[in-house]
């Protein structure tokens, strides 16, 4: 993965102090909240905390808000099909996206995404359909972007990520909110070494 891009991403919809108490140094924070009346105020609070911890910040689905918060980039969810992101002239402004199948992966590449989260990798409550290891490996053969796993990752199944063939990292929601979170996972030859998980 690009040396300036994190390998780990925490998805949040509001400020959570547990995220910023982590010992992780290579973390990106994706602010994903579409309906809150305090969305902007909450984002600026998160932005301030990210700067203090030197975390990269990405805002979901709003270039205007991302630029206003001086975020590091934009996150495009799978349901967003627009191609207005193609003319991004700011090379430091990174575009991330998520996809569930090959068609959506192609759409995210067309949207100029440098990172694509493939999800859900494991079981999540909102759907019984999940990819698991073999399907992820099949979908992540495209070499033009970096692929990360997302969805249902927990301490019981996280070691399965070691057998994903083209993984550059992973994202999570509840995983990073738990206290204490893990220390510093090390990525070597695209494999995740997770022996230093806190119990």
Q: Does any domain span residue 61?
A: yes
Q: Does any domain span residue 199?
A: no
pLDDT tens column, 100-138? 999 999 999 999 999 999 999 998 887 778 998 889 999
Residue 91 belongs to domain spanning: 8-193
In DSSP terms, which residues pair with 170 in a beta bridge? 8, 149
Q: Does any domain span residue 3?
A: no
The number of distinct structural domains making up the chain is: 1
Q: Does any domain span residue 198?
A: no
Q: Does any domain span residue 151?
A: yes
The pTM for the full model equals 0.86
pLDDT tens column, 161-173? 988 888 899 999 8
Q: Which residues contact 121 (CB under 8 A, 6 or more apart)?
A: 130, 131, 132, 136, 149, 150, 151, 152, 153, 161, 170
Cβ burial of 63 (10 Å; 0-12, 13-18, 19+) is: middle
Q: Does any domain span residue 171?
A: yes
- What's the pLDDT band for 178 if we cut at 50, 70, 90? low
CATH code of 141's domain: 3.20.20.70
Q: What is the DSSP letter of 16?
A: -
Residue from 45, 58, 67, 63 nearest 10 by CA: 58
Q: Does any domain span residue 1?
A: no
Q: Does any domain span residue 49?
A: yes
């Amino acid at each position: 993965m690009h040396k300036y891009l994190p390998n780990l991403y925490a998805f949040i919809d509001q400020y959570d102090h547990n995220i910023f108490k982590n010992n992780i140094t290579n973390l990106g924070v994706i602010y994903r909240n579409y309906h809150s009346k305090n969305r902007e105020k909450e984002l600026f609070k998160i932005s301030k905390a990210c700067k203090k911890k030197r975390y990269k910040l990405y805002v979901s689905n709003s270039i205007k808000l991302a630029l206003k918060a001086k975020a590091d980039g934009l996150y495009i969810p799978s349901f967003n099909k627009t191609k207005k992101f193609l003319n991004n002239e700011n090379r430091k402004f990174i575009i991330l996206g998520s996809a569930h199948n090959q068609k959506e992966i192609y759409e995210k590449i067309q949207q100029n995404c440098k990172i694509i989260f493939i999800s859900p990798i494991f079981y999540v409550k909102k759907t019984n359909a999940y990819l698991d290891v073999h399907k992820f490996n099949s979908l992540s053969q495209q070499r033009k972007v970096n692929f990360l796993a997302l969805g249902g990752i927990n301490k019981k199944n996280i070691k399965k990520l070691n057998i994903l063939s083209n993984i550059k990292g992973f994202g999570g929601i509840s995983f990073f909110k738990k206290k204490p979170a893990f220390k510093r996972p090390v990525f070597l030859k695209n494999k995740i070494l997770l022996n230093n998980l806190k119990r």
